[in-house]
Amino acid sequence: MNYIDGLRQDTSVLPNGMAFNARIKFMERICLALTDNQLPKYHFPQFQLSEKEITSFMENNTALNEIEFQAMTTHLEKFDQNLGDFRSYLQTRFGYWATITQDFVQELSLAFPEQSFLELMAGNGYLSKGLRDLDVETYCTDDLSWSQYNQTGNLKTTAVESLDAISALEKYGSKVDNVLLAWSPDREDIDYKVLQKIREMDINFLVIGEKYGATNSKEFWDAAQLVDDPRIQRVNQVYSRYDLVHDQLYLVK
């Protein structure tokens, strides 16, 4: 049973479980797009149930007897927990870490019009794929050194040149306007080394991550100078922050 089927199984044992179909269908469309090597069209809403939704659902089922009500509560908690596993499922199944959607990439291209990009540590290339679909000049690179651990790099959506981050900067840094780095691992300091290298160049450094959280090293965040830029604010309006991970786009100096 796949993840979406599991959610449908969860709702099948809930009274009026059909009320949750809309969010499951949204999640299914995301999975179908990624299966088809496409980006999801729209940024994600919150998937886990809000406190208001849980309260409302329980209030609408007070006619159940005590045993039925307890069973319903247990099933509802299980469903909500499984909804919360969506990010982990996307990472494991598709190597989809940063929440790259078509509307996000469109906004990014509008914020930096007629400019070129170099993506470092691109994994499956979701970000470069979106930019290339918009005919934006984009170099996509990754030596795929960690593809043995999950689907990152095994389900490439676009051509990815086998280069480590520093080598990619040396090869393409002088040819582009912007460098992109999305969801750099939090236990490796390659992002700090990249930052030091970029500071020798006249290019923008655009980072998608969670400050002192799920992504990037402490050394990086300690050294990063985050630029308050209205373009970045506009792009972040369509970047998905749909669970407890509060990642976003940063312009870093």
- pLDDT tens profile 79-96: 999 999 999 999 999 999
Contact predicate 17/71, CB 8 Å = no
pLDDT computed for residue 96 by the predictor: 96
Q: Is residue 42 part of a domain?
A: no
| 79 and 140 fall within a common domain | no
| 118 and 228 fall within a common domain | yes
- Quote the strand ranges of 32-163, DSSP E: 117-120, 138-140
| 114 and 211 fall within a common domain | yes
Q: Is residue 183 part of a domain?
A: yes
Tokens at residue 49, please?
Answer: 């149930």
147: pLDDT confidence band, cut at 50, 70 and 90? Answer: low
| 128 and 55 fall within a common domain | no
| 144 and 55 fall within a common domain | no
Q: Is residue 198 part of a domain?
A: yes
Cα-to-chain-centroid distance, residue 24: 18
| 133 and 228 fall within a common domain | yes
Q: Is residue 175 part of a domain?
A: yes
| 75 and 116 fall within a common domain | no
List C-alpha distances in Å: 240 to 61, 103, 119, 181, 243: 32, 10, 20, 17, 9
Return the minimum-mean-pLDDT range out of 23-32, 38-47, 139-148, 227-236.
Answer: 139-148
| 62 and 155 fall within a common domain | no
pLDDT computed for residue 144 by the predictor: 80
Q: Is residue 43 part of a domain?
A: no
How many other CB atoms are there within 10 angstroms of residue 46's CB atom? 13
CATH of the domain at 139: 3.40.50.150
| 122 and 212 fall within a common domain | yes
Beta bridge partners of 179: 118, 205
Report pTM: 0.93
Tokens 């750099």 appear where? 184
* Of residues 96, 120, 87, 106, the one with CA closest to residue 190: 120
* Of residues 186, 190, 252, 246, the one with CA closest to residue 216: 186
| 109 and 63 fall within a common domain | no
Residue range(s) defining the domain that contains residue 108? 102-252
Q: Is residue 152 part of a domain?
A: yes
Q: Is residue 89 part of a domain?
A: no
| 73 and 148 fall within a common domain | no
pLDDT computed for residue 149 by the predictor: 55
pLDDT computed for residue 153 by the predictor: 62
Number of domains present in the structure of the chain? 2
| 13 and 137 fall within a common domain | no
Q: Is residue 219 part of a domain?
A: yes
- pLDDT tens digit sequence for 49-72: 999 999 999 999 999 999 999 999
Separation of alpha carbons 162 and 139, rounded Å: 11
